[in-house]
Chain A
C-alpha cells in the first residue's frame, strides 16, 4: 500500500472524537427521563414471567411461529431472486439508485403501505420483506461480484458474455454470497416478527398483546420460541432442504391478498396526491406551498431532528457497549467455558429485534427516548461485540504479553480499533433506519408522524414523510461509505 494514502491514526482519532462529541451534544437535547414510578417492580414481574413461561395459554404459538417462518422464507426467496437479477445490472447507476431507494425504506413502512393496498394479507407481509431486502441483497451481491478475481474471466474469449459470468464470477463469489444470504435470512425472521406489531399474524402479534397486557408468562413463552427458532437456524437451514421449506411455506401461507382494483386505483391516483392538489382543476401553488410549509414545520423538522439526536446517542452507546463487551467473546481474555457464557449473552441480545427491546423498555421505563437508546445500543452493541471478539481472538500475541486491563488497553484495543470503526460505520445507517421506525412506538422520531399520518388516513402526508426518512437513510449510507473509503476500512459484509 502506498504510504502516503494510508490514513493516519490521527484520522481515526478525529472520527472517534467527532462521534463522541455529536453523541454528547445530542444527549443535551434528548429527553431521557424515567417516567415510571417503579420500574424495578415491573422488572421483577417480567423476571418472574421469564422463570415461568406459559406455553399453554396460546394455541396460536405454533401457527404464529410457522407464519413467522413462512413470511421470512417467501420474502427471502423473492428478495434473493430479485436481488440477484438486479446485481447483474448493478454497474448501471440507475439500478444502483433504485436499489438504494427501496432499501432505504424500512420493512415496517413498506408494510404500512401494502396494508392499504392488499389488506392484512400474506402478500403484504411477503412484499414488505422482499422489497427492501432485494435492495440490500442486490448491493451485496453486486459488490461481491465486483470483488471477484478478474483473471479467470479475462483468460476467456471475450464473446462468452453471460456464460462467462456463470462459469467464473458466480462460482468465485458463491461462498460469501451464500453466507451473507443465510445471515440475511436471520434478519428476515426478525423483520417478520416485527411485522406482527402492525397486525400481521407472526410471533410479534402475540408478543405485543402479551407484553402490552402485562401477561409476562405468555410473553416469555413467545420469547423462548423466538430464540429457539433463530438459535437453531444453523442446524435446520440446509441448502438441500430449502426448496422443500419454500414449497411448504407456499402451501401453508399462499401469498394471496384481499384487494380491489378500485381501491388500488384510488390509493395511487387520489389518496397519495397532496391534499391541496386533490380534486382541483387548476393547481393552487400557494396552497401546496402552505401545506408543505406546515408539514415541514410541524412534522418533518421535529421528526428529522429527533431522529438525528436519537441515532447519534444510540451510536455512541453502541460504541461504548461494543468496546466494553467484546472481551466476553474473545480468546484473549476468557477460557472457552466463560467465553461461551459471555457470547451466549451477546447472541441473545443481538437476536432480539431492537423494536421489541424498545417496546419492553417503554413498558419498564415509561415514555422517553431512553428505552429506544438502550434498545438500539444493546442490540447493535452486541452485534459488534460478538464480531469484534471473534476478530480479536485471531490475533497472535507474544508469549509474555500482559494480562487483564493492561492487555486490553495496550495489546488488543489498538489492534482491533480500526475494525471496530469499520463495524460501527456499517451499523450507523442501520441505526438511523431503525431510529426512524421506533417512532411508531410513540417516540417523536419520523416514525411517529408517519404512523399518525396512517392513523389519520392521510396517505399524502405518510408518503412525503416516508420519502424524508428514505432520503435521511440514503444520506447516512453515502456518508458512511465515504468515511469508510477515506479511512480504508473494509469489514466483511456480515455486519450490514
Chain B
C-alpha cells in the first residue's frame, strides 16, 4: 500500500524526517505517536500525496467552509462522484439521495440536529465531527487522519474512531493520546527527533518505550 525507503521530508524548508523507511500493508491500522514537532503531520501529508485520489483525508485543522452548512461541508467529500451540474443543484438545494445518505451519516456522528446549521455557528468538537463526516463521505478504502478527534470528548472520540475503523480497510492516524492509540490500532509507530524510535504491534509496546518518546 505505502512503501517508503530512506526518505527525507521537509516542512517549511527544514528537514523534519530523515532517512525514514516504512511499509504499510492493506488492512493495517497504524497510529503515529510522538511529541509535537516529531514530524507526524509531515509524514501523514506525504503518505496522502502518494495516493491522493484514493485517500479519505481528515486534517488536524478542520478546514471547513464556514458560511456553508454542515450538510454541504460533508457533501464536499463526495463531489468527485457527481457531475458539476449535479453538485451545483445540490448546492442550491439539497437533493434527495445525498440528503438521505448524509442524514444517516450525521446520526452516527451525533450531528443530526446541526446538519443544516452553518458550521461557523458550531462548537469546535462539532466542527471536527463535520470534518470526519466529510472524510467518511469520501468513501475511500484508506483513511488518513491527523489528530481527527483531538477536540472531541473521550467517550465520543472512541465512537468516532471505531466508526472510522469500521468503514475503512487501511487506517493511518496521528494521535497524541497514546492510550487511545493502543486501543484503536494494531500497530504503533513512535516518532522522535525526525526518526522512527520504534515500530511494533500494539501488544508489544511497553510503557517505558512510550515514556521515553516524550522525554526531552
Contacts and interface: CB of A to CB of B under 8 A. Distances in A.
Interface residues of A, number: 21
A154 B48 CA distance: 11
B68 interface: yes
B67 A167 contact: no
Nearest to A159: B80
B96 interface: no
Interface in B76-91: 76-77, 79-80, 82, 84, 87-88, 91
Contacts of A174: 67
Interface residues of B, number: 25
A163 B87 contact: yes
Given A157-B52, A158-B53, A164-B76, A171 B65 contact: yes
A155 B57 contact: yes
Interface of A: 149, 151-152, 154-164, 166-168, 171-172, 174-175
Contacts of B138: 157
A162 B79 CA distance: 10
Interface in B94-133: 131
Contacts of A159: 53, 80
B53 A166 contact: no
Contact of A161 (B63, B65, B84): B84
Contacts of A171: 65, 67-68
A162 B52 CA distance: 18
Mostly helix, strand, loop or mixed at chain B's interface? helix
A167 B87 contact: yes
Contacts of B79: 156-157, 160, 163-164, 167
Given A157-B53, A158-B52, A158-B53, A172 B82 contact: no
Contacts of B80: 156-157, 159-161, 163
Report the 8 A-B pairs with minimum CB-CB distance, sorted nearest first.
A151-B63, A160-B79, A163-B87, A159-B80, A163-B79, A162-B84, A155-B63, A160-B80
Contacts of B75: 167
A163 B66 CA distance: 17
A172 B65 contact: yes
B53 A163 contact: no
A157 B135 CA distance: 10
A172 B67 CA distance: 7
B46 interface: no
Contact of B76 (A149, A156, A158, A162): A156
Interface in B39-83: 52-53, 57, 59, 61, 63-68, 72, 75-77, 79-80, 82
Interface of B: 52-53, 57, 59, 61, 63-68, 72, 75-77, 79-80, 82, 84, 87-88, 91, 131, 134, 138
B67 A163 contact: no
A164 B91 CA distance: 11
A159 B55 CA distance: 12
A168 B84 contact: no
B49 to A, nearest CB: 10
A39 B57 CA distance: 73
Contacts of B77: 156-157
A161 B84 CA distance: 8
5 contacts: A151-B61, A152-B64, A157-B52, A157-B80, A161-B84
Contacts of B64: 152
Contacts of A164: 76, 79
A430 B68 CA distance: 36
Contacts of B76: 152, 156, 160, 164, 167-168
A163 B82 CA distance: 9
A151 B72 contact: no
Given A157-B77, A174-B67, A175-B67, 6 more contacts: A155-B131, A157-B53, A166-B84, A168-B76, A171-B65, A172-B67
B63 A154 contact: yes
Contacts of B131: 155
Given A157-B52, A159-B53, A160-B80, A168 B87 contact: no
A174 B66 CA distance: 12
Given A160-B80, A162-B84, A168 B65 contact: yes
A157 to B, nearest CB: 5
A152 B84 contact: no
A155 B65 contact: no
A151 B57 CA distance: 12
A237 to B, nearest CB: 21
A399 B134 CA distance: 49
A266 to B, nearest CB: 44
